[in-house]
Structure formats: C-alpha cells, structure tokens
Structure 1
Amino acid sequence: MANITLPLDIDSLKILSQDIDEKGNIVLTVESKCQQTHCHKCGKSATKRHGYGETMKVRHTSILDTPVILKIKPVRYLCEHCGDGPTTLEKFDWVAKGGKITKGLETYIQRSLINSTIQDVSRKEGVSYSTISTMLSHSIGVTVNWDNLRDLHTIGIDEISNRKGFQDFVAIVSAKDTQGNLSILAVLDDRKKETVLDFFQSIPDELKQTVKHVCTDMYDGFINAAVEVFGQKKVVVDRYDVAKLYRQPLDDLRIKEMKRLKLELSAADYAELKGMMWILRKQHECLTETEKSKLTLLYRHSPLLKKAHRQALTLTHIFNTHSDRKSAIAKIDRWITQVEKSELSCFDRFIGTLTKYKSSIANYFKNRKNSGFVEGLNNKIKVVKRRCYGFTKAESLFQRLTLDLQGYRMLGI
C-alpha cells in the first residue's frame, strides 16, 4: 500500500509516532511544543516541568474516512512564584470543551449537524450522542447572542403549535437584516403579551434603533407588545393574513350556494360547476377561457356569490396596487362603504376586524413588507420538528433553528 504524508493541522503539536489500533483507528502519539502554562493559583507563567498527567486520547478529524486519535501526556508545571509551589497541568487550546474531541472535529461536526440530527451524525462519525449533545450545548447558546447581530431591519413574529392537538403554543421571533440574512431571535415558551413584551424590551437599545418593520398576524398579544416597544408606525399586519380572513367568508358563501344549486339544478347542469373552489381563488387574469366560462355560468346561477366574489377581487386589487398609505386607507374605506350598502352580509365580521386593525394593515403600503419570510420559517420549523421527532424544550428548538439558519454564517462558510 502506498503511503502518504500529511502535516498535522495543529501547529502546537509534534508527532512522535503513528500506529493503527485494534479498531483500525489511526493513533498519533504527540507532544506539545509549548514550554509553559499559567499557574491556576496566581496566573503567572510556570515553566518548570514537574512530571506528567494521565495520558489523554482526543478524537480528531478523520483521514480517508478513518478516525484519527491524538494520544498525548499533558505536562505538569511547578509554579515558582507561589510560596507553596502548586502544580498546574498543561491546558490545550486545540481541545474542545469537554476534553473528548478537538476543536477541528467540533467545527466539522457542527457543519454536519446543519439540517441533520444528532443521532445521524453520531452514527456517521462514530462519536457518541452525549459528546455531540454536549458540544452543541457549549457552542450554541439557548438564547440569542446580540453581539453576533448588526441590525434587525425586519422582525417577524408568529406562533406554532408545539404539540399537535394541544393548546401548547410557542412564539417564534425572527429577523431579516439589510443583507437579507435570516436569524432566529427567540423561541418563547408562550405567546402571551407579557412574554413577548419582556423579550422586545430585552433587545439592546442600539439594535432596537435598527428595527424598521415588525411583521405579525392579527394576534393582539403580538401587536400590542410590538406597538408598545417600537411604535404604531413600524407594526405591519401581514397582508396574506388579511387575505385569508376575507376569502374565508367567500368560501363559506360558495359552500352554501353550491348546496342550494345542487338541489335546484339538474345533475348535468350542476356538473358544469365542478372545480369552482379553485376558480374563485384565482385572479381573473390568471383564468383560462374554460374557467372564465364556468365562472360566468356560476354568476348567472348565483348573483349573490357574484357580488361577493367581485368585492373580494376588488380588495385584492387594492393590496396589489402600489398606493401610498393615505390613498390605500381611502380605498379601503370606500370598499367598506360599498359592501355595507350592498345586501352582502358575509363580510360583516371581517369588516369589524379590518376596521380594528386598519392602521397596522395600512402600514403595509409604506414599503410593502409582509411576513413571507416568517411563513417560510414556519415550514422549516415543521421539517425540523419532524426530523427530530419533536422538541420538549423551547431551548432545544432554538438551538436547532439557530444552527440550521445561521450555521454556515457562524462557521464562515
């Protein structure tokens, strides 16, 4: 077998010998090039050797898919500055916290953990689950490190169900900076206003000043907390959350009208109205000629649904039009007046909600900010939870999201 020579990537070590153990691992016996350490008692330099400590075996990054183990005896130094002559064992800056793997392997494992699981990486790399779990706890905190963030241009906040079928919600706070980088700021234990408010107030003042928008849904706890800390002008209610609210009564009316038409029309005539749910949800300009013909037929059979559908399209058009905030509010007010004058009652509840949150909804028209990145994050969270078979602690979810979202940036990749 041909031999190759590779330099050890730890400059402070010298290789003394190389062996293959009974498990096929490459074992490198090394010694430190350092000639001193700092006394644990006085902190001064200790240079007088006083024996050795127990032999350490530290796992390093693999070579050609073969595990590498560094075998070293740490030197014990005698302090000549302290009267009682204490000894201090040499500490190695290349060993990760915990003493079982090198920092080089720690970085490699962190990279492998991105979009993966501890169990998978443990099996692939032959490193114990507990070692990787400990490493993750040491390298990724359970709360955000504000020093790693330069700005919080757009904050997004939403809740997710921690356990399916239970009223167990956690609030996810994220931020997208001016460069478009997405970061996780917090996974809060609940979605109460007090909890969210405490977190917003904990943001350092210099970072608070960089916040330009806070995107949220219509949950009062989120809106009120954001308004109290950042002010009304920065809080934006997501336009897609608004769209869901006015499309729901249209769907309810469609179901009611289709039930009526099923009783009144012949089976052949009713069959021509098949697929109306998706047709009503599309923009008119996106419809095919066949779909437009079906819509015209539905309009003829249900004038009430025609009115409701056209009002919904009008409101969608308002949000799609690049208006300034003042003009948008005027258009929304005119829309409300038109609906109230019509015989439509399906939008009554929605109009009450629209009126209540009008100011925050209208803030969308300033820069057309929305919670699209929050919804994308929610999908990622679902994948993470499914991949890791759920999380019992908010801290664990925060660590995994931090690694998946920011891992490559943290590792300089």
Structure 2
Amino acid sequence: MISQNTNKLNITEELLGISDIRVVSSEMDRNGHIIVRVESTVEKIPCRQCGKSTRPHGRSVICRMKHLPICGRPTFIEITPRRGKCEDCDGGATTTQQANWYERNSEYTKAYEKHAVISLIHSTIADVAIKEDLSCAAVQGIIDWHVVTEVNWDQIKKIGLLGIDEISLKKGFRDFVTVLTAKTEAEVQMLGVLKGREKATVTAFLKTMPKRLRRTISAVCTDMYEGFINGAREALGQDIPVIIDRFHVAQLYRKGFVQIRKSELKRLQKELSREEYQRLKPAIAVLCRKNPFSSADEKSS
C-alpha cells in the first residue's frame, strides 16, 4: 500500500513486484514522479572472470530506471549496486553486482520494457511514446532489444491463452514484428518478439515450445492473417482452437457499418428535400456517436 505524508511514501517490495530487494526509501518528487531507492538482498557477487565469490569492494554509481507506474504515476527505481573484488584473479578483478530484474546500462526495468512492448499491440509506436512519455526512438530501442529467435521455456510455467499479434513499426503498415504473449487469468506475460511476420518464423518459434507447455494452451488468439493461423496449426496441431481477436472482428463490423451509413446518406440526399435532410442531421450525428464499433471501443475491447 501507499501512505503519503508530505512527499514521503511507503512503497513495499510486493508493490514493486521485484524479489531479492529491500526498499530503502520512497518519495514523490516535485514533478509527481515516484522515486523508490532499493538495495539488493543478495550478498554474493560472482567474479566476472572466474565465477568465484568476491569480497566486498564498495559500490558502483547510482542506476536509475523507469518502472511500472504506481497509481498512475511515473515510477523510477534507484539502486547503487555493490561491487566485489576477486582475490584469485590476477590484478584483483572487480565486478559490479547484476540483478535479474534489469539489464546493465538500461534506462528501464525488464518489467517496464515488457509493459511497453505489450502496450504496442493494437496501437502504434507514436501513441505508446506519447502515453509513456518516451521518445519514438526509445520505444523502437525497447522493441529491438526484445527481438529474439528463442526463449528460455524453463522460466514459463503455463501458457493459457496464446496471443500472436503484429506491430507495424512504420507508417503504411511496413516493417513488422510479431509479439507472442501468454495470458493466464488476469496476467499477461510476453514470450518473445520476432522479426517480421512470416509464417515460417512463427512456426519455427512455436515448435521450440516443450510439450508440457503445449498441454497448457487453452486457445490461440490472433488476427485474421493466415500466416499466423496456419503457423499455429502447423506447430501446435489441429486440436488447439484458434480464435480471432475481437479487436479485428470489431474492425470488420465498423467497416460495414460505415459503408452502410454512407450509402444511406447518399440515398437520403437524393430522395429528400434539402429541408428534410437538414432536419435529419442531428439524428444522424447521434447515430454516429452511438456506433458500437467505433475505434474508441475497439481499443478498449
């Protein structure tokens, strides 16, 4: 929970969703950003050269990374990693402790990077950049960092609903990447980001999934792109149902709705007098606002 006393906050490790850390302090700065200072509870620092345990050797510079928002406010985590010195290596090699929840020299935690990539589904780089207060180059950099050809399936316990979605990196729907996600109950986990959207790429990736995880797939959710549908069936078999994302179904309904509305307007303009047609305009405007398949509804579906 968060309890506010002036600009001091009480942020817990559970609220951050990060293990092996202790919250040292937390506060809200003048910009309304939440700043959480943490330290690692892991004592051992393996030598980067020989892998043996090192002895304490001070701390490195402060690392500050953007994390998942708390109560809608931008949240940043600060950590000053411990350093260790190896007594077995020539020259006494020093090593900076590295935690598993962020990458060295990254400006974002791993959880935040995955959040940014998942936010791109049914959206654009420009939209996510505005929403997350990032540059388009920063969003593109996060995507590039997460492009993979294989995944460590040992870290995945269950798939649930397997999502296959494409993201267009440029205007005009050019230069795609494919995002694969696993949804179990309310949790969405990113499995990987693939370069392009070719059937062969998706099929090859899914074929690396072990049988124990395939048995946990309830369904595959994707758009109407045959490459994704056929790739999933080829890699996972015909027994797993493939369903169409309601976002794309809504797009089709909306397209039909707009076509009918335009044709009816043209017909009414021809059949009605100018005065009668003008009287209908308010009702037409209300009908358009109540369109159940508007783009706003699509994005929230």
Structure ranking higher in helix proportion: 1
TM band (smaller chain): 0.3 to 0.5
Higher RCO, 1 or 2 (CA under 8 Å, sep at least 6)? 1
Return the structure number with greater strand share. 2
Larger radius of gyration: 1
Question: TM-score, with normalisation over the residues of structure 1?
Answer: 0.36
**Could you state the TM-score of these two structures normalised by the residue count of structure 2?**
0.47
